[in-house]
Amino acid sequence: MKRFLILASALLALSLGVAGQTPKYNGKTLGVLGGLGPAASADFMRLLVVKAPATVDQEHPRVILLSQPQTPNRNDFIFGFGEDPEPALRSGLELLTDWGADILCVTCNTAHYYIDHFRDSLRRPLIHIIDETVRSARERSPEGAWLTATLGTIKAGIFQDNAARSGYSFVVPDEETKNDVQEVINTVKAGRYEEAGALMRAVCLKLWSVRNIPIVAACTEIPIAYGYTGLPAEGCISSLEALADACIRELYD
């Protein structure tokens, strides 16, 4: 995994700049709404460091992280129970803007179901994790990919609809496997990473026995679990990495 990230960072750095030149941090401030859950936003911050084309502290971007784990459950409300998380998501992004963010992102896929309701009214541009993950999947696996996500994300259809607009398609697992994926996510949120990795490994092997295409980790807890599976890094298209790559592109000229 470490070697894969180093290689991916090198390729990103090359794509950002002119041959022979190192991309320069452009001074923009990134506002990150995280805590959805905390492990995912912490891993996102790590990815920003790994992927930044920086050699000293001062070449890394200015980032404001608002970790807001008290945001109501994004998955539950889609199924008609619990508190609506949309007001908390909106207020968090507005607070980041007030704090000086020039661009915004949110380290939760399901949250974008709600964010899409008010995205156009935000005062700063939002780097959209769904857009970026679909883009990454199309580039890496034009023939399609498995969609693994929260039950709410799949029910809402935000990935399927986004992909369809560009002529791409995801393969959605059967009901039993979708529930197994949700258990993986819940296990990561509970801090049991090795257990989550074992569960995710079983999910991946089951899906690959049906069709050998990459698995899109369309929940930001899933890449954490995948890191504990022992499976090849290229088997997973991480929404968290797709978001980090897009942020780096926006922060460096």
Q: How far apart, in whole angstroms, are the C-alpha atoms of residue 62 and residue 75?
A: 31
Structure tokens at 24: 């320069």
Strand, coil or helix: what is 134?
Answer: helix
Q: How far apart, in whole angstroms, are the C-alpha atoms of residue 161 and residue 126?
A: 19
By CB neighbour count within 10 A (0-12 exposed, 13-18 middle, 19+ buried), where does 106 fall?
A: buried
219 classed as catalytic: yes
Catalytic residue among 108, 204, 236, 247: 108
Whole-Å CA distances, 218 to 129, 213, 227, 246: 9, 15, 15, 16
Q: How far apart, in whole angstroms, are the C-alpha atoms of residue 61 and residue 171?
A: 36
Residues 6+ apart with CB under 8 A from 251: 25, 26, 28, 30, 52, 61, 103
Catalytic residue among 105, 204, 219, 247: 219
108 classed as catalytic: yes
Q: Which residues are catalytic?
A: 108, 219
